Structures are given as C-alpha cells and as structure tokens.
Amino acid sequence: MSYQFNWSVLWSGQSGGWLLQGLLTTLELSALAWVLAAALGITSGAMRTVPWRPLRALATLYVEFFRNVPLLVWMFFWYFGVPPLLPMTIREWLFDHEAEFWAAMFALGVYHGARMAEVIRSGIQSIPRTQFEASVAMGLTTFQAYRLIIVPIALRLIVPPATNESLNLLKNSSVALTISVAELTFQTRQIETYTAKAIEALTAGTLIYLVLCVGIATVMARVERRFAIPGLIARGG
Amino acid sequence: MLDLSVLVNNFRFLVVQGLLGLGGFTGGTLRLAIPAIVLGFLLGIFVGLARLARARWISVPATLYVEFFRGVPLVMVIFWIWFIVPQLLRVPIPEYGVALAAFVIFEAAYFGEIVRAGIQSVPRGQVEAATAVGLTRAQTMRFVVLPQAIRNMVPSLVTQMIVLFKDTSLASIIGYVDLTKAAQIVNNREIRPFELYLFIAVVYWVCTYSMSRVARRFERRPA
C-alpha cells in the first residue's frame, strides 16, 4: 500500500471551515426535522389508538405509506417532484431561500414522523387501558384524556426507543447530500474532492458522527433515569 | 396534468431492469437486496454470538463493531468502501461489489443486535435444564436455545429486512442502477419527476408492505 497520509489537510486551507459548516447544517437540518417528526409522530401515534375509526384509518394511511418507502425516494420526490406543482410565487421564493434544505427537512420530518408514530403508539398501548377509562369516568373528554393523561405518560415511557429513532434521524440526514444540501457528509466529500485525501476526510466525518451519536445517547440515558415512572419501568431488572 | 404515459413507456426499464435486474443488465434492486439480506444475516449471527462469548477478546471487538456501525450513517460506510478498497487492493471494484460489501458489513451490526436480544430472551432456566439433562454447550445452543431464540427474533428480523430493502436505494448514490437510479435516468430524459418518483414510491411500498404482511402470518403460527 503506497498511500501517503497527510492529516494536515483537515486543518490547513478551507477544510476546517467546511467541516464546521457541514456540522452546523447537519444539526440545523436534524433539529428542524426532529420538531416536525415529533409533532407528526405524537399526533398520528395518538390518533392510531383513539376509539374513532376514521381518525385511526387516516393515521394508519399516513404511517404505513411514508414509513415503507425509502427516504432517498422521498428526498427526490419533495425536491424534484413537488415544487413544479406549486404556484409560481412560492416556487420562486423557495429557490431563492435554499429550496434543497427545506425539501430535505420536509422529507426527513415526514418520513421520521411516520416512524416516530409507531414508537408513540406502542408506548400508548403499553399503558393499561384502565387509565383511559378512569379519565373518561372522571369527566374528561377523549381529547383531554389524551392531552393530560395518556400522552404525558406515554412520552415518559418511550424515552429509550425515541432516542434511538432520533439518532436514526440524525444519521439519515446524511441522505440529504443527494439533493446537494451542504451537510456533514457532503462537506466530507468536498474535502476529498479538493485534497484527494479520502481516508483523512472520511475519518474526520465519521468521528464527528460517532461523537454526536454516542454523546446524545449518553445524555439521553441520564434523562431516561430522571423521567422514569417509579413502579412502571423496571430498570436493569 | 398528470402524464402517466411516461410510466407506461418506461415500465420495462423501471420494473424489469431497475427492480428485478433481469434482461442481461447489471443492476436491479432485488439482485442487490436478496444477497445483502442473506449475507448480512449470516454475518450478524456470528456478531451476535461473539457479543455473548465468554472470552473477552471475542466479545469486546464484537461490541465495538456493533457500536461503531450503529453510530455512523450508512452513506458514510458506502463512501468508505468506495474510496478505500480500490486504493488498498489496487483494482477497481464494480459498484455492485462496493454496495453489497457496505450493506453486509453495516447491517450485520444491526442483525447482530437482534440475534443477541433473541438469545438473551430465552429464559436462563432452559440452559440450566439442558445442562442438567447432559447436553454439551454446543448441543444446548443447537437444540434448545436457538430454536426458541429464532422464533422470538422473527418480528425484528423482518423489520430489519424491510429497512435493508429500503436502504438499497442508497446504492444509487455511487451509480448502481437500481429502481431509484432507473427513475433518475428516465427523469433526466423525460422531466416528469412527480409521476416517476411517486411511481417508484408505490413500487417500494408494495414490496415492503407485502413483506410485512407475510411476516405477520408467520408470527401467528408458532406459539
């Protein structure tokens, strides 16, 4: 093997700035998409368990369709397929304001919202049915019972799988490079193109992802212990 | 406004070549997905067993392997293999080989976790009983633990297979002509993105949804 290592390409020239920008874009994209995914996931996850069929059917349709199609296809669909159908003014505004970023954010959020919905649904279904019956017996409406009792308990139960799913979202944000969003993987490749030092560039990108994922997982393990409901979750048992 | 003729005219290219990989053509989603699932699962069994090994020099590297690949995006792994392997071996590797290697190595970490969880779901008393009856460790694994573990694994295994099937779309990034790349190629000529990408979304959906339906039937049978 005659590969010449030259790690200094990572801090000489523009590489350092590119990596930092890529990291910031990845975090921004993931954070916005996460908010959308959490909102869609909680709503549709809860809707899948309500005792009213049309709402259940609507949520099931959303979850089953968006979850079962590759994220890459959704990226292309939202970036190339949808804008031509929008009114001229919106389209022009979008292409002046980083359309690829918003398409990627939307694709990530809607796709992971469907996956998050499954996590939340299983959380709700693990709560004894009597909780819901008791709240309704106390005079709460179904909506109030979900908002005040069921969803808050479910959110505390699902911290581990929801963390897992959030990390999947962060890692999947790398797919946005296919529609040329300048996130971390995109910048890693750019460094490789400019310096022809593939191993160094890929190592830098990989390490950043690893540190992000391991860091978030460690923090969330603490959060999980803090929010565990005594008596409901047996930890380490 | 919706122009479906683009789908009819390119149906052969999209489905026969892009999805199935038939017709004297290098490409195809299924031609990549099926070997990737089989080989990824086989490697995953070794990874899962290695994580449970008593010897630390086996279990620690296996744990690091799993934690590493679960902490990086698949896209990154594909680029690693795409750039590094040709440099190391000094021979060009076709996209198919790169993609297959990346999927097998990456998904083995996830399959390994499923195998480990499946084995750990078998009650400890089963192993003790098997030992008491006089089975060796290997026999206990083969006749008592694995048959029960595999049944417990079925739901997560199928979920992971569906994930892997969807992930094969990422092979299009390095130029492998799967269903997604086929749609891109047609779109470059015809400029009908809405119809084309919605169509392949439906094709992917039909494949993954039928996989999950078949799996649900399997889950019910063994009690």
The tokens for B13 are 């290219």
ipTM topping 0.85: yes
Would you place residue B106 in the very low, low, confident or very high pLDDT band (cuts 50, 70, 90)? very high
Nearest to A28 by CA among A92, A103, A96, A105: A105
Distance from A213 to chain B by nearest Cα, in Å?
A: 6
Distance from A194 to chain B by nearest Cα, in Å?
A: 14
* A77/B73 CB distance under 8 A: no
pLDDT for A2 beyond 70: no
Widest CA span of chain A, in angstroms?
A: 76
Nearest to A34 by CA among A220, A171, A152: A171
Q: Are B102 and B132 in contact (CB under 8 A)?
A: no
Tell me, yes or no, if B29 comes closer than 8 A to chain A by beta carbon.
no
pLDDT for B219 beyond 80: no
CATH code reported for the domain at B34-177+197-220: 1.10.3720.10
* B201/A77 CB distance under 8 A: yes
Would you place residue A236 in the very low, low, confident or very high pLDDT band (cuts 50, 70, 90)? very low
pLDDT for A71 beyond 90: yes
CATH of A15-227, one of 3.40.630.30, 3.10.330.10, 1.10.3720.10, 3.40.920.10: 1.10.3720.10
pLDDT in tens, A176-209: 999 999 999 999 999 988 888 888 899 999 999 9
pLDDT in tens, B133-188: 999 988 998 899 988 998 888 888 998 999 999 999 999 999 899 999 999 999 99
- Count of A–B CB contacts within 8 Å? 109
The nearest alpha carbon in chain A to B211 belongs to A68
* B87/A68 CB distance under 8 A: no
Which residue from A70, A80, A84 is facing B169, i.e. has the nearest CB? A70
Tell me, yes or no, if B65 comes closer than 8 A to chain A by beta carbon.
no
Residue A194 has what pLDDT? 87
Residue A235 has what pLDDT? 43
User: What average pLDDT score do residues B99-116 get?
Assistant: 95
Would you place residue B22 in the very low, low, confident or very high pLDDT band (cuts 50, 70, 90)? confident
Residue B221 has what pLDDT? 58
Cα B6 to Cα A85: distance, rounded to the nearest angstrom: 17
Cα B114 to Cα B156: distance, rounded to the nearest angstrom: 7
Residue B141 has what pLDDT? 87
Tell me, yes or no, if B209 comes closer than 8 A to chain A by beta carbon.
yes
* B84/A84 CB distance under 8 A: no
Domain locations in chain A as residue ranges: 15-227
Enumerate the residues of chain A whose CB falls inside 8 A of the CB of residue B84. Answer: 198-199, 202
Would you place residue B220 in the very low, low, confident or very high pLDDT band (cuts 50, 70, 90)? low
The tokens for A235 are 């930890």
Would you place residue A237 in the very low, low, confident or very high pLDDT band (cuts 50, 70, 90)? very low
The mean-pLDDT minimum among A221-230, B34-43, B123-132, B167-176 falls in A221-230
User: What average pLDDT score do residues A19-34 get?
Assistant: 95
Which residue from B70, B71, B73 is facing A174, i.e. has the nearest CB? B73
pLDDT for A234 beyond 50: no
CA angle, A35 as apex, A34 and A39 as ends, to 5°? 115
pLDDT for B94 beyond 90: no
Q: Which of the residues A76, A171, A173, A192 would you substitute to probe the B interface, choosing the one with the greatest number of B C-beta atoms within 10 Å?
A: A76
Mean pLDDT of chain B: 89
Q: Which of the residues B32, B68, B76 would you substitute to probe the A interface, choosing the one with the greatest number of A C-beta atoms within 10 Å?
A: B76
pTM of the model: 0.90
* B180/A72 CB distance under 8 A: yes
The tokens for A222 are 């603490």
User: What average pLDDT score do residues A8-33 get?
Assistant: 90
Residue A9 has what pLDDT? 78
* B212/A68 CB distance under 8 A: yes
pLDDT for A113 beyond 90: yes
pLDDT for A228 beyond 90: no
Nearest to B180 by CA among A26, A106, A179: A179
